[in-house]
Amino acid sequence: MYRTNTCGELRASDVNNTVTLAGWVQKVRKMGGMTFVDLRDRYGITQLVFNQETDAALCEKANKLAREYVIQVTGVVKERSNKNLTIPTGEIEIIASGLNVLNASETPPFTIEDDTDGGDDIRMKYRYLDLRRNAVRSNLELRHRMTIEVRSYLDKQKFMEVETPVLISSTPEGARDFVVPSRMNPGQFYALPQSPQTFKQLLMVSGFDRYFQIVKCFRDEDLRADRQPEFTQIDCEMSFVEQEDILNTFEGLSKHLFKSILNTEITEPFARISWHDAMKLYGSDKPDLRFGMQFVELMDIMKGHGFAVFDNANYVGGICAEGAAHYTRKQLDSLTDFVKRPQIGAKGMVYARVEADGTVKSSVDKFYSQDVLQQMKNAFRAKPGDLILILSGDDVMKTRKQLNELRLEMGSQLGLRDKNKFSCLWVVDFPLLEWSEEDERFYAMHHPFTSPKPEDIHLLDSDPGAVRANAYDMVINGVEVGGGSIRIHDSGLQNRMFKLLGFTEEQAQAQFGFLLNAFKYGAPPHGGIAYGLDRWVSLFAGLDSIRDCIAFPKNNSGRDVMIDAPSVIDQAQLDELHLSINLQEQ
């Protein structure tokens, strides 16, 4: 071992011990015949002292050190005269008697500090140096700790981790599958799984009863800020359960994580809201409930008074921002600009302030009497000093989504979205099917194995769009951390689903044959959930992007700029795979 101790563990109680440390040079300072070196490793920083008077040669050697040199130092632990109580080792220093340079370092392209001077691109190129920064490494420590706790909890609940294959087969609908040519089976391809969905259902057919896996999944799609071509799921499935059992079990897992990782005790059951109410009250299937500002619909009150925008709208609704009447015209204009951005797409915004005397002053006063405005105020239960913001539009769902963006923006502006506060929620009763105007057919909102709610099964033929599913999402602070469903285990019902989704029997067989076959041999009632680990870690770490909790992430073009992947491969490799590339077709 190159060391007796780490750079994070020596304390006043170690004074007078002779120790050997090893690590990276964080900083070198010369001060009146003394050279001070901050030595860093994963565990902390320890101050080393080299004394010109005691050992000039050694001190000279220390003077040649530079940032990020790797050194080994022997010396005696002494109490500092000038204590630094901001770090755990700040009461001591090492009076060095030996110095061994284990490796030199070129000057790193950016500073290895919490506040680095390196931009995003250079830090990604030199990710191995970026990972030296505490701020980055601590996210990965958190990730490690969370997976340890997830496994510990699920193991105690008798879940078994089972590895499902990474090299599987592509499905006709798997347009976003990564494929892998097989050298041993020329012309044939494996596919990388977008999720282990079918395998975990097979494991339930196999009687595994409780399965989980922390597993890489893959999707070859255009990447947004919060997506990676490879991502990690906490994938779970249980047999002989109803929806309530799954919600309870995984609420338990979540509470365990909050307690063990954040030391936050959540005693109350998670809030539950139906998808229908979530859309109506928040315009989102993943509402951020750290704050209120529920939508109030105003069709009855605001229509028919001559304001054409509202009169012609199919949706008029708004939010009340408590105590925000002080917003200036400039701030309000900028909010209007915000909702009019193409990503949001509103045509405009109406606002109204509740004055100190209770009267309402709005941007559409010429159309509305104070009496109507008071009705509106009452609908919001608005108080003097509150600000009311109203959107309208032709398309109810679209307008609600715009209002959702406005609500989140106001929550942020008013400081209501504290990263250290957590609001956990189950969104339940998702619609089973989604109608596609374009394709004039229904699609499964989750996947074709999701079970309808038993009480809605009678609507499957008469009004399929109204059928709700036994499907649920876990939402924390407006982030969908996980989602799942009870699966269909009855083959008659499964066949009805396939018919509804426009599958012929042959198509269903081609796409899901091995699962349908498996279901012939005694499938138990089952259901499950899958969490996005990257998202969950980001949320606990208070990060804005999942990238910061991934050791070696890819950029928006799916590239790893550090190793320069993907890249061209040898012709010989292509030949062996019997493949050729036709770029001219582009």
Site for a copy of itself in 238-267 (CB under 8 A): 240-242, 245
Tell me: does residue 371 bind a copy of itself (CB under 8 A). no
Residue of 301, 232, 239 lying closest to 481 (CA atoms): 232
The residue (of 378 and 557) whose beta carbon lies closer to a copy of itself is 557
Give the separation between CA 217 and CA 233, rounded to whole angstroms: 7
Per CB under 8 A, the list member of 104, 271, 397, 466 interacting with a copy of itself is 104
8 A C-beta contact, residue 102 and residue 22: yes
Q: Which x/- pattern, by CB under 8 A, does the window 213-232 give for a copy of itself?
A: ---x-x-x-xx-----xx-x
The residue (of 205 and 354) whose beta carbon lies closer to a copy of itself is 205
Q: How many other CB atoms sit within 10 Å of the CB of residue 370?
A: 13
Tell me: does residue 583 bind a copy of itself (CB under 8 A). yes
Per CB under 8 A, the list member of 13, 81, 86, 187 interacting with a copy of itself is 187
Q: How far is the CB of 94 from a copy of itself (least distance, A)?
A: 16
Sign, CA torsion 285/273/421/249: negative
Interface stretch with a copy of itself, choices 199-207, 287-295, 342-350, 400-408 (CB under 8 A): 199-207
Give the separation between CA 124 and CA 553, rounded to whole angstroms: 8
Q: How far is the CB of 410 from a copy of itself (least distance, A)?
A: 36
Q: How far is the CB of 10 from a copy of itself (least distance, A)?
A: 16
Interface stretch with a copy of itself, choices 41-49, 52-60, 333-341, 499-507 (CB under 8 A): 41-49
Residue of 407, 408, 410, 390 lying closest to 315 (CA atoms): 390
Using CB under 8 A as the binding criterion, the count of chain residues that bind a copy of itself stands at 126
Per CB under 8 A, the list member of 68, 235, 429, 473 interacting with a copy of itself is 68
Per CB under 8 A, the list member of 87, 162, 299, 364 interacting with a copy of itself is 162
Interface stretch with a copy of itself, choices 90-98, 336-344, 347-355, 577-585 (CB under 8 A): 577-585
Q: How far is the CB of 446 from a copy of itself (least distance, A)?
A: 21
Amino acid identity of residue 275, one-letter, is: W
Tell me: does residue 467 bind a copy of itself (CB under 8 A). no
Give the separation between CA 17 and CA 9, rounded to whole angstroms: 13
Per CB under 8 A, the list member of 32, 119, 172, 342 interacting with a copy of itself is 172
Q: Which of residues 548-567 bind a copy of itself (CB under 8 A)?
A: 550-552, 554, 557-560, 562-567
Residue of 209, 196, 206 lying closest to 239 (CA atoms): 209
Q: How many other CB atoms sit within 10 Å of the CB of residue 86?
A: 6
Give the separation between CA 4 and CA 288, rounded to whole angstroms: 49
Per CB under 8 A, the list member of 49, 91, 116, 132 interacting with a copy of itself is 132
Q: How far is the CB of 451 from a copy of itself (least distance, A)?
A: 13
Angle subtended by helix axes 197-205 and 505-518, to nearest 10:
50
Opening angle at CA 348, ends 342 and 352, nearest 5:
140
Angle subtended by helix axes 243-262 and 533-541, to nearest 10:
40
Q: How far is the CB of 2 from a copy of itself (least distance, A)?
A: 4
8 A C-beta contact, residue 174 and residue 121: no
Interface stretch with a copy of itself, choices 182-190, 318-326, 352-360, 385-393 (CB under 8 A): 182-190
Distances (CA, A) of 17 to 13, 79, 480: 9, 11, 52
For 446, the enclosing helix (H) or strand (E) is: none
How remote is the C-alpha of 190 from its chain's centroid? 28
Per CB under 8 A, the list member of 97, 157, 206, 363 interacting with a copy of itself is 206
Per CB under 8 A, the list member of 14, 41, 235, 405 interacting with a copy of itself is 41
Q: Which x/- pattern, by CB under 8 A, does the window 489-528 give for a copy of itself?
A: xx-----------------------x---x-xxxxxx---
Q: How many other CB atoms sit within 10 Å of the CB of residue 478?
A: 20
Q: How far is the CB of 206 from a copy of itself (least distance, A)?
A: 4
What's the burial of 297, exposed, middle or buried (CB within 10 Å: 0-12/13-18/19+)? Answer: middle
How remote is the C-alpha of 442 from its chain's centroid? 29
Q: How far is the CB of 543 from a copy of itself (least distance, A)?
A: 16
